[in-house]
Structure 1
Amino acid sequence: MKKENYTISVYTENNIGLLNRISAIFLRRHINLESFTASVSEIKDVFRFTIVVSVTEEQVKKIIGQIEKQIEVIKAFYHKDDETIYQETALFKIASKLLFEERKIQNVIKDSNANIVTVTPEFFVLEKTGRRRDVETLYDQLEPYGLMQFVRSGRISITKEKMHISKILENFGMEAV
């Protein structure tokens, strides 16, 4: 079987130590996490971990089974990239003088649809939201000018198809907000 990117969504209670136990599941299998984010979900008092891994479908099924054995985990799902809508966000900090002295940077910003978040006498900050390859392309274009700082978020995603998580959570006495 060939490896593919899978987005794993884990709906859980917010308990201390769960993140450690979930990451240990991947560690034991020597699976590198491509991306990991955590946030509140559409359901009150339920949190969502979004994890991206490159594995076979057989491996991701086993991982889901292990994750769901954790007592705080309500439900876990996996989806292929073509089954989700996903984005990442990145921030680029660059010396302000380049914004005014390097015409090419202005064109890069305009062509990439990046947004200028702030400008100070010392630096300016760009924000780019898009697919990982969009963020990496902008990084490659800006890197020769000298990046003062760079940070990228993990993937956030929603499924294209309706998820019936609300019905599942009704069994746990929870409801969607």
Structure 2
Amino acid sequence: MLIDRIEARKNPTKHTLVALVENKPGVLNRVASLMRRRNFNIESLAVGTTEDPTVSRMTIVIDASRTNAALVERNLYKLVNVIDVQDVTNLPTVVRELALIKVRVSDAQHRGEIKQIADMFQSRVVDVAKESVIIEVTGEEQKVDSILNVLQDYGILEVVRTGRIAMTRG
């Protein structure tokens, strides 16, 4: 909990909103269109079904220095398919991000070094090819950023990140 509050203080402009929406075609488009019409900037957006197959959960990260988070929340409630919206920025939450990182390997020595780096970050190598490896890393955004910084020297070929997902504790 303390770490979450410290993180919120370090970057007070990023707000995390969690929206429960009906799991129907077009709902994501409606949310994205609302953000576009109101000129709200989305830092990241992750969507997936919940334990209830009729409900999807959206984790939306916005830059609150450009847009008031409460205003975004009020506007989301105006959409028919939105069930609930909660700003979890200052609540005790578990926040994670997943990234797949493809790194160039020139020889067996580099492959071993990259494997050691993955192990240090409690990540894992999920694919090995002749000239590259893919590493899967899960954790807070700072962890993903840190492993990316370390792997830059080896030559990052491609990166895909999920964006922030969050769940309140308890």
TM range, normalised to the smaller chain?
0.7 to 0.9
Partner of 1:109: 118
Q: CA RMSD in A?
A: 2.3
Query: Aligned pair in 2 of structure 1 residues 35, 15: CA closer, same or farther (>3 Å)?
Result: same
Query: Does the CA contact (< 8 Å) of 1:114 and 1:129 recur in 2?
Result: yes
5 Å-filtered alignment, 1:8-27, equals: 8-27=17-36
Aligned pair in 2 of structure 1 residues 81, 138: CA closer, same or farther (>3 Å)?
A: farther
Partner of 1:93: 102
Aligned length: 158
Cα distance in structure 2, aligned partners of 1:93 and 1:55:
32
Distance 1:3 1:26 in 2: 20
Q: Which amino acid aligns with 2:100?
A: L
Q: How does 1:160-171 map to 2 (within 5 A)?
A: 160-161=169-170
Partners in 1 of 2:150 and 2:87 — Cα distance?
33
Aligned position for 1:144: 153
1:38 is displaced (CA, Å) by 0.6
> What is the aligned counterpart of 1:55 among 47, 56, 64?
64
Q: Where do residues 125-140 of structure 1 align in structure 2 (5 Å cutoff)?
A: 125-140=134-149
TM-score (norm 1): 0.78
The one-letter amino acid paired with 1:125 is I
Equivalent residue letter for 2:55: V
Q: Identify which range, 6-15 or 123-132, moves more after superposition.
A: 6-15
Is this contact kept in 1: 2:40–2:72, CA < 8 A? Answer: no
Larger radius of gyration: 1
Aligned amino acid, residue 47 of structure 1: S
Q: 2:92 aligns with which of 78, 83, 93?
A: 83
* Structure 2 CA distance for aligned equivalents of residues 24 and 16 of structure 1: 14
Gaps of at least 5 residues in structure 1 are 162-177
Partner of 2:73: 64
Q: Deviations 1:103-125 (Å, cap 9, x if unpaired)?
A: 54343222212101122334221
Report the Cα offset of residue 17 of structure 1.
Answer: 2.7
For residues 75 and 104 of structure 2, what CA distance do their matches in structure 1 show? 47
1:80-105 per-position Cα deviation (integer Å, ceiling 9, x unaligned): 1553111001111123444x222543
